[in-house]
Structure 1
Amino acid sequence: MKIITFSAIKGGVGKTTLTFNFGEWLSAKGNNVLLIDSDHQCSLTQTYDIYTTEGTIASIFDKSGEAKIIELHKNLSLIPASMDLDSVNNELQTKPNKELLMYMWVADHYNKLKEFDYIIIDTHPDFSTITQNMIAISDFVFSPIEPSEYGFISKTTLELRLKQLKDEVINVQTRESFVTAELKFIGNRIKSNTKSSKEFVEKMMEDSKTIAMIPEREVVNKSTLDHEPLVEMEGETGLSKSNKEFLSKIDKVFEKMSK
């Protein structure tokens, strides 16, 4: 089982769209995938037309019940988000081991969770306690970065915050960190034939943690608006040549991300 969290300090970088499409791609390739929505905006959950206040991810933190794993279709399931997660997050601040509550839940439910090949997590654009909980259980953190000055600032901020989390959340006996996730960056929504995007790509590729560069395409936005993943569009007739080329490139990008 591999656990991957999509995280970004800055909002609007395409994090949920990537989570949705990557999870669907993995399931289409025959992997058993669990999506977890830990964003109180509930965007990933509502992409699947799920609106519920029971059995959400919030119950793991406020002990209000048991989180439910909802089967979406073959090879794909979801633990939905709750709009109350922001208030739940505030209530966690006085709790002991507040960054490891999800870690303990995973340990308690490991026999069920090991049925999944991948757990893919969407987070709110912040570094809140709930986001830290998701990072603490992860093997990898994928952070989308857009071509902008603020994108690079958020990139540096996330690196610093992750290092701080690793240094602070430790086993007091061994002094080893509970947080072992590797941070990887994805250049996203890159415009073609612009100087700023070219400079952005060059700078991103200087960082060994950069694993993918994804160009801007309207078909990506269409996938979440229409609730239709990119992997299902590949077989559609009438696709333009540029969209066919893009979907072929995305297939290779997701293949690399899944390794």
Structure 2
Amino acid sequence: MMIISFLNQKGGVGKTTLSVNVAARLAAQGQKVLLVDADKQGSASTWASLREETPFQVVSMARDNLAKDVLKLAADYEATVIDGPPHAEGIARACIIASDFVALPIEPSGLSTWASDLTVRQVGEAQAFKESIKCGFVVSRKIGNTVIGREIRSMASEAGIPLLNAEIEQRVAYAESLTMGKTIFEWSPTGAAAKEITTLTDEIIQHVQEELRDSAATQAARA
């Protein structure tokens, strides 16, 4: 079981886009997947309502004490993805506590980087109680081949949080697919956007698996 959350206190950085499509990629790999819509705006739930059926289960749960319920639900799934809210410290904190990996999408704007500072602090606080929580910045809505797109890596490094190698560019395909109630793999399975999501998902899985191996080694050493 692994729980991945996408969080940033700023809205419009691509949390729902990444949550839906990473969940779709995990499901395509044969995993039983749960997507938790923890945003009161309910974007992921709205997306699901446009379909007759979804490739993964979607539940709406936007409350400050969701951690316990998410962990209980996640026990029946191989992977759980949480679409976190903006401007909701209590809910974001609960999402972090429930997570194994916290992905912080940041776009080519100082605003999203600064807005992620609160989430970074919350992750640090949660790690004091749950050392296994890992996190990383994800470059989202990047404008290709621009100076600001390249400089975002140096901006993120100042926060002391790892920056994932995978990058998500600003592409019309992402907006079109969500609007039509599709995943990017249904909308444009061989396109650049689908390849970006695949790369991102694989990298996150690698981080989670490394943590599981480290935890197992630590427990074995203590025994």
Q: For this structure pair, what is the TM-score category when the shorter chain's length is used for normalisation?
A: 0.7 to 0.9
Tell me the equivalent position of 1:93: none
Does residue 221 (structure 1) correspond to residue 151 (structure 2)? The answer is no
Q: How does 1:1-259 map to 2 (within 5 A)?
A: 1-49=1-49, 72-74=53-55, 76-81=56-61, 85=62, 101-105=65-69, 109=72, 113-167=74-128, 177-178=129-130, 180-204=132-156, 209-211=162-164, 212-235=166-189, 244-259=191-206
Structure with bigger gyration radius: 1
Partner Cα distance (1:182, 1:72) in 2 = 32
Partner Cα distance (2:142, 2:8) in 1 = 17
Q: Give per-residue Cα distances to partners, 1:88-146, cap 9 Å, x unaligned.
A: 65xxxxxxxxxxx4344356x4xx64331101111211342222122111111111001
Tell me the equivalent position of 1:239: none
Q: TM-score, normalised by structure 1?
A: 0.69
- Going from structure 1 to structure 2, the CA distance change for 1:11 and 1:245 (only over 3 Å counts) comes to closer
Partner Cα distance (1:223, 1:6) in 2 = 19
Provide the aligned length of Structure 1 versus Structure 2: 203
Partner Cα distance (1:196, 1:113) in 2 = 38
Letter in 1 for 2:142: I
Unaligned runs of 5+ in 2: 207-223
- Going from structure 1 to structure 2, the CA distance change for 1:106 and 1:16 (only over 3 Å counts) comes to closer
Partner Cα distance (1:196, 1:209) in 2 = 19
Larger relative helix fraction = 2
Q: TM-score, normalised by structure 2?
A: 0.79
Letter in 1 for 2:3: I
Letter in 1 for 2:18: L
Partner Cα distance (1:251, 1:146) in 2 = 19
**Contact between 1:139 and 1:182, CA under 8 Å: does it hold in 2?**
yes
Partner Cα distance (2:153, 2:127) in 1 = 28
Partner Cα distance (1:30, 1:49) in 2 = 23
CA RMSD after TM alignment: 2.6
Partner Cα distance (1:209, 1:215) in 2 = 19
Give % identity: 26
- Going from structure 1 to structure 2, the CA distance change for 1:132 and 1:72 (only over 3 Å counts) comes to farther
The structural deviation recorded for 1:245 is 3.6
**Contact between 2:35 and 2:58, CA under 8 Å: does it hold in 1?**
yes
**Contact between 1:136 and 1:179, CA under 8 Å: does it hold in 2?**
no
**Contact between 1:106 and 1:113, CA under 8 Å: does it hold in 2?**
yes
